[in-house]
Structure 1
Amino acid sequence: MKIFRNPKGLAAIGVACVLALTACGGGNDGPADPDGEGSDDAGSGVDFGGEASGTLKTLGFNPSDEVGLSRSDLAAEKLSGVTVEMDTANFDPQKFAALSAAGTLPDVVQMDRQSIATYAQQGLIMPMDECFASQEITPDEYWYPAVIGDVTYDGSVYAAPQFFQPSIIIINKALTEPAGVTAEQFDSSDPEALVALAKQLTVMNGAQPTQLGFDPDIPGSIVTWLTAFGGKVMDDEGKPTLDDPANVEAMNFLIELFDAQGGYAEVTSFKQTWDVFGDQNQYVQNQVAAALWAQWYINVLSNVKDEVSLDAQPLRDADGNPFGYAGGSALAIPANAENPVAACQWITTVTSLDAWKAAGEARAQTVEENDAIFTGIFTGSPEADQAIKDAHVAPSGNEDFDKLIETAYSVLEDTRTFGGSPVGAPIDEAIKQAAGAAMGGEKSVEQALADAQAQAMNEWDSLG
């Protein structure tokens, strides 16, 4: 397989983004079906198990680090008769719309999983059930149920998921131990105690915080917190449910949490001074006692492993059960792809167990060369996750980081995600706007969520 990459798509990205992959891109809402009709029969009758040949064009997949490169190299070996042309730029909804209108869509597109149901409903990507069957893949068995649910619409699976990097609470022992605080006290199933703990660990200079007790990562992790409180942003059919009573409870908790630390505006302003990805990050500088972070941030902190003292706790739901929440990307085939056979086989190869094992080997080599810590690769597949963990995750000699890694793996026993909806992107935008309005005091929680629900329902009703 010959691979040609579009150099214009190779933008410089930060170390954390290279390690995370999924944290750096993703699309939102997409174009309407230009013909006003869906393409439910797209891919029907295609011999996905036939010999792959010709040219394969991809958009959004960027093999810029060893995890991506090792997987695309494996596909090159398997699909030796295919020439791959890669546009490695991040997925752009406007670009996708323009390519669709011009009839020049590529054969493979990588996008945020929240966009999959939107494009499926519009008939712009094809169901992959026949593709998976041809490659003897059972999606519900290979991927976590929550992950495959993200890319399922109207009973069909429309994409192959990649990555599931769950959020955990990363604790700064340099601040908690002198205060007599244990890691176990950061228990999200006890909101009242967590607010009190955050207040205890916050240091103020007048009206401005100089040390946060607990950063919940809002608005970015707003749906994670709604989930923790038993809330939801959509029902099983994808219909918006932003005004769910549990969402009101979660938002009120977050307001109390920010108020205990000086207020949402003040906290946000303080966080903007942090060197989040640098050697003088907020843990090194003792600017935060604990915070909610996705698994990929362990890689960032490992760069300063000798300068920090850390612990971790899982996020817990209202019943005290640890759970893992995450999003991620997925690989889909446009409905009018010129080479669906090669697209199917390329996608299923780069997301296969063999591909993830190759990625694990490549990452392990990089870790060894840089005297770093292997923090795991969280693939979205329990089988692949376990294989990589068994082969490469071992005691590192740093008990703190071993605890962080162990905690991240532990929450994979209960995975939860945003869900799949044809108005997923509008729901996401509406809930984040509601969080900002409520946290900032512009609206009451009830009004903010009611407005968000109305906004999302307008999109839902427009589906017809």
Structure 2
Amino acid sequence: MTRTLLPSAVLAVSLAAGCAQGIADRDGADVHFDADSPVAGALNVMGFAAQDEIGQTRLDAAGEAMPDVDVSLVEGELDVQQFMSAVSTGEPPDLIYANRDQIGTFASRGAIMPLDDCLDGEGIDIGLFREPAVAQVSFGDSVYGVPEFNQVQITMANADLLAEAGLDVADVNGSDWEAVTAANRELHHTEDDGLSVIGFDSKLPEFLPLWAKANGADLLSADGRTAHLDDPAVIEALEFAVAIYEEQGGFGAVKALRDSADFFGSGNQFASGSLGAMPFEQWYVNILNDVSPDAPLAFDTFRDRRGEPLAFASGSAWAIPEGSANPQAACRFLKTMTATDTWLAAAQARADARAEEGKPFTGLLTCNVEADAQIRDRFVDETTDSVWAEAVTATYTANAHTFSLPANPADAEFEAAWQDAVNRVLNGEAAPAEALREAQTVAQEALDTAWAQWAQR
């Protein structure tokens, strides 16, 4: 496999012919997927960059599996407008790397193909992947993407601030909302010029689904057809999370202090003592270990109100556009990139790199259940008496207790509806119940319209 890097503003278009079962290529021929058949030609991949040892090791593995394929990477996050324009003109990339919450919209618009024949032909066992992630990329009766990576939230806290206030990480892990409220009151500090220490950051607007689920509610029905934004439990969750900010002078004050922090540097909120606690994605553990290894930290899972671990999972997925000129190579590529052996090689490369730097390997959440288990067993040390071992254990526990919003043909519109509602509340433009009732109407109309259009396809 040869590799070509293309600037993100340029869409590489392969003119090689393709053939596959269940779909038609540009010449109208059927296309067949077969794990025993060689693949060759150009493969243009949009939205993926091998910027670290995890990506590069897996790209190298794909090269070994497809020596006669010339891969061109359009690096940078997937440009949705550029991609949809390419599809509409009949010159799409051969493979895309997208956010999982985009897959339903792409599928409903006919921009990507169902992967059932790809999975069957290449022998890809979709049952090896985490169920919530598969649900995000399944639409109708078909799978439209192969998921990879899982981002999950864990509770992160400043241990010194907790101790000074007579608190423990259990007081801020979300299991007891009264305890979180009380801890926030004790932890936050205000000086003459404003808020100087954020007590607790409930991470709105992004984490409304997490707080709602912790309160026993889903924003969307399991079949992706019915919005539940005005559910009393969702309203209560938003009221609670917003009240956390109001106790500290309002969201504006918290956001201003949050934005002033050196988030990726040694002056981050935990190292500087300007944040008591927050739920956040596990990838930040590596950042903290790199830039502030001696910061006073404490970790736990985020928990629902019954005390059970909970995480709102997100991540990426591979999908093959309709009209792909080389769907067979695209399928072989995504198979190799998400295979257990490939992930193990990538984890080995990451573990070796961390060891050379004298730093712990904090795990790798691949979305492949088999790979996750073997990586944890072979490369992760949770026996040490350190906060980093606590973080790793919390991460893997969270990874086993995830949920996601189901795929639907109005993904973007649905997300915009609830996020706009939360932002209106944060900006003081509406009360939680009013904002969510209005969002419910907007979201349900978008869902009804999109599902009706899907039924007419």
Task: Answer yes or no: same fold by TM over 0.5.
Answer: yes
What's 1:137 paired with?
Answer: 124
**Deviation sequence 1:81-132 (CA, Å, 0-9, x none):** 2111111121011101221122110110011111101111111101111111
* Distance in 1, Cα, partners of 2:85 & 2:76: 15
Q: TM-score, normalised by structure 1?
A: 0.90
**Deviation sequence 1:2-46 (CA, Å, 0-9, x none):** 111114579xxxxxxxxxxxxxxxxxxxxxxxxxxxxx8568952
What's 1:35 paired with?
Answer: none
2:259 maps to a residue whose letter is Q
* Distance in 2, Cα, partners of 1:169 & 1:262: 23
User: What displacement does 1:256 show?
Assistant: 1.7
What's 1:220 paired with?
Answer: 206
* Distance in 2, Cα, partners of 1:275 & 1:256: 26
Of the candidates 158, 161, 169, which is equivalent to residue 172 of structure 1?
158
What is the DSSP-based 3-state SS (H/G/I as helix, E as strand, rest coil) of the residue aligned with 2:200?
coil
What's 1:4 paired with?
Answer: 4
**What stretches of structure 2 of length at least 5 have no aligned partner?**
11-21, 453-457
* Distance in 1, Cα, partners of 2:30 & 2:214: 44
* Alpha-carbon distance change, 362 to 317 in structure 1, aligned in 2, over 3 angstroms: same
1:58 maps to a residue whose letter is V
- Written as runs of structure 1 = structure 2, the 5 A alignment for 1:32-431 is 41=23, 45-49=30-34, 50-139=37-126, 141-206=127-192, 208-239=194-225, 240-395=227-382, 399-431=386-418
Q: Runs of at least 4 residues of structure 1 off by over 3 A?
A: 7-10, 40-45, 395-398
What is the DSSP-based 3-state SS (H/G/I as helix, E as strand, rest coil) of the residue aligned with 2:417?
helix
CA contact 1:174–1:308 (8 Å) conserved in 2: no
* Distance in 2, Cα, partners of 1:165 & 1:424: 19
Q: TM-score, normalised by structure 2?
A: 0.91
* Distance in 2, Cα, partners of 1:324 & 1:413: 9
* Distance in 1, Cα, partners of 2:365 & 2:61: 19
User: What displacement does 1:416 show?
Assistant: 0.9
CA contact 2:223–2:406 (8 Å) conserved in 1: no
CA contact 1:238–1:423 (8 Å) conserved in 2: no
What's 1:20 paired with?
Answer: none
* Distance in 2, Cα, partners of 1:356 & 1:297: 20
* Alpha-carbon distance change, 305 to 280 in structure 1, aligned in 2, over 3 angstroms: closer
* Distance in 2, Cα, partners of 1:419 & 1:460: 12
What is the DSSP-based 3-state SS (H/G/I as helix, E as strand, rest coil) of the residue aligned with 1:161?
strand
* Distance in 1, Cα, partners of 2:111 & 2:118: 17
**Deviation sequence 1:280-300 (CA, Å, 0-9, x none):** 111110001111110000011
Seq. identity, %: 31
User: What displacement does 1:397 show?
Assistant: 5.4
**What stretches of structure 1 of length at least 5 have no aligned partner?**
11-39
411-420 or 270-279, which deviates more = 411-420
User: What displacement does 1:196 show?
Assistant: 1.2
CA contact 1:71–1:356 (8 Å) conserved in 2: yes
Give aligned pairs, total: 434
CA contact 1:55–1:83 (8 Å) conserved in 2: yes
What is the DSSP-based 3-state SS (H/G/I as helix, E as strand, rest coil) of the residue aligned with 1:223?
helix
CA contact 2:382–2:393 (8 Å) conserved in 1: no
* Alpha-carbon distance change, 247 to 228 in structure 1, aligned in 2, over 3 angstroms: same
* Alpha-carbon distance change, 83 to 327 in structure 1, aligned in 2, over 3 angstroms: same
CA contact 2:151–2:283 (8 Å) conserved in 1: yes
436-445 or 205-214, which deviates more = 205-214
Cα-Cα RMSD = 1.9
User: What displacement does 1:389 show?
Assistant: 1.1
* Distance in 1, Cα, partners of 2:60 & 2:427: 48
What is the DSSP-based 3-state SS (H/G/I as helix, E as strand, rest coil) of the residue aligned with 1:442?
coil
CA contact 1:42–1:127 (8 Å) conserved in 2: no
* Distance in 1, Cα, partners of 2:382 & 2:92: 46
**Deviation sequence 1:437-464 (CA, Å, 0-9, x none):** 1123211111111221222223223322
* Distance in 2, Cα, partners of 1:132 & 1:245: 41
What is the DSSP-based 3-state SS (H/G/I as helix, E as strand, rest coil) of the residue aligned with 1:291?
strand
What is the DSSP-based 3-state SS (H/G/I as helix, E as strand, rest coil) of the residue aligned with 1:48?
coil
